[in-house]
Amino acid sequence: MNNFNAHSNNDRIEMLEAIGVSCIEDLFAQIPQAARIDKLNLPNAISEMSAQKSLKALAAKNETNYVSFVGGGAEKHFVPACVAQIAQRFEFNTAYTPYQPEISQGTLQMIYEYQSMICNLTGMDVSNASVYDAATACAEALLMAVRITNIPKVLVSSSLNPEYKQVVETYLSAQNLTIKYFNSVEELKTLQEDFACVLVQNPDFYGEINDYSEVKNIFSGKKTLLAVCVSIMSLALLAPPSTYGADIVVGDVQSFGLPVNFGGPYGGFMACLDKYKRQLIGRIVGRTVDADGKQAFTLTLQTREQHIRREKATSNICSNQGLAALCASVYMTVMGKEGVKEAAYLSAKNAHCLAEKLSKKGFKVLNKEFFNEFVIEVANSDKFVETLKQNNILAGLKLGPDKVLVCATEMNTEEEIEYYISKV
């Protein structure tokens, strides 16, 4: 335990002498006195028992006893108990981001398996080790396309998640890049300008499954890349973006082993064709053999990023969502191909069942084709949502005065669906 002992006074004196100062205060000499805080306005200390009681009282204010039909980028899916048990092992759960994780072959192998499973689902050749979330991944995909094509303009679908749009606009405005929004594939046919990328979401924010098979033909002969933001769970049932010409695929692994937990955590993923791998941000783990011919994992494929290239880096993201990627890896491994497919099937089945029952009750379902989210028209969305909330049901996400985005997953039982219908 000696490694965890605090410094002694002699240790401090020795370190101060080594750097040529007489006291710790000298270390802060360059900070103006006006910028310093003399005393923190903190309450008096309390006992551990009192602290626990106070924290439990605060936690009790969170209302969690609801049946959820909310989606819009965060869905409540089943998480096997072993996901948390494995992810919380000390070998994985660390606050430190290892800049040289070659020392941990276990961590590197986990990331490699994660990348492989993401590639299997998306149909892409290469995946990174994750980024913050889907919104970040969308923005980074557009910046990646600009670097590849050297064209400072991008096209973004108007049906992209509004929160993703905000992040995209923030990222691209800082680099003086132009964003043009479009409403349909037909609209793309009328454009004459050159664009670095077309970013679409499929299923889109409103749950609609769109046909983007024409996009690559529309831009045939041009440098324009196709980037697709996907629901990772939907890919267990739907054709991967590679089948309709995607160059870059992004999304979030939240539905794979990450519970909805007051705003996080999330784990964005990025995957692309092999020819673009040198422009793919973040860690990319490769598999090779060592001097003894044994299997080994290494980061030689990564673009080295902020810790070497600084302003020339492809991205200045400092870390990947390693723990989130681990949870997703454990989830996919435990569930297996058929298990993930079954979860996706049940999600779609429950959503279509609920949509059909709402339609029979007089609500207009606005979607033609959807996976597990759909939009309904209501007389008053505020009243609709509040009425169900009073009955311990989170009805969905309000989109306006008369529209609600409803989501169902494998977690929603037949009884919950019937209960929802009985209260609308």
* Domain 67-78+336-423 shares a fold with domain 81-331: no
| Closest-CA residue to 127 (of 256, 336, 309, 282) | 282
CATH 3.40.50.1820 fits 81-331, yes or no: no
Between 222 and 301, whose confidence is greater? 222
Q: Which residue has the higher pLDDT, 305 or 168?
A: 168
Distance linking the first and last C-alpha atoms of the chain = 61
pLDDT value, residue 298:
84
- Measured between alpha carbons, how far is 43 from 161 in angstroms, rounded to an integer? 42
- 253 pLDDT above the threshold of 90: yes
> Model-level pTM greater than 0.75?
yes
| Three-state secondary structure call for residue 272 | strand
Q: Please tell me the predicted confidence (pLDDT) of residue 202.
A: 97
pLDDT band, residue 81 (cuts 50/70/90): very high
Residue environment code for 165-201, b if the CB has 16+ CB neighbours within 10 A, otherwise e: bebbeebbeeeebebeebeebeebeeeeeebbbbbbb
Average pLDDT on 5-15 reads 89
**What local confidence, expressed as pLDDT, does residue 382 receive?**
97
Q: How many residues does the chain have?
A: 424
Whole-number pLDDT of residue 63:
83
pLDDT at 94: 63
CATH number of the 67-78+336-423 domain: 3.90.1150.10
Helices 414-423 and 381-389, packing angle to 10 deg: 130
Predicted confidence at residue 316, as pLDDT, reads 63
Percent of the chain predicted with pLDDT > 90: 75
Structure confidence at residue 172 (pLDDT): 96
pLDDT of residue 100: 52
Region of poorest pLDDT, from 63-67, 118-122, 258-262, 320-324: 320-324
Counting residues of the chain whose pLDDT is more than 70, the rounded percentage is: 92
Q: What is the pLDDT of residues 395-404, one digit of tens each?
A: 999 999 999 9
Write out pLDDT tens, residues 375-390: 999 999 999 999 999 9
User: Using one digit for the tens of pLDDT, what is the confidence trace for 262-285?
Assistant: 888 899 999 999 999 989 988 788
The pLDDT mean for the chain works out to 91
Average pLDDT over residues 169-195: 95
Q: What is the pLDDT of residue 37?
A: 85
At 3 the pLDDT is 59
CA dist 89 → 82, 93, 102, 141 (Å):
11, 6, 19, 33
Q: Hey, where are the domains in the chain? A: 67-78+336-423, 81-331
pLDDT of the residue at 1: 43
Question: What is the mean predicted confidence (pLDDT) over 2-18?
Answer: 84
CB atoms within 10 A of CB 282: 23
- Of 229 and 316, more confident: 229
pLDDT number for residue 265: 85
> In which element (H, E) is residue 404 found?
strand 403-407
Looking at the predicted structure, is the pLDDT value of residue 5 above 80?
A: no
DSSP 3-state of 9: helix
H runs (alpha helix) in 225-373: 322-360
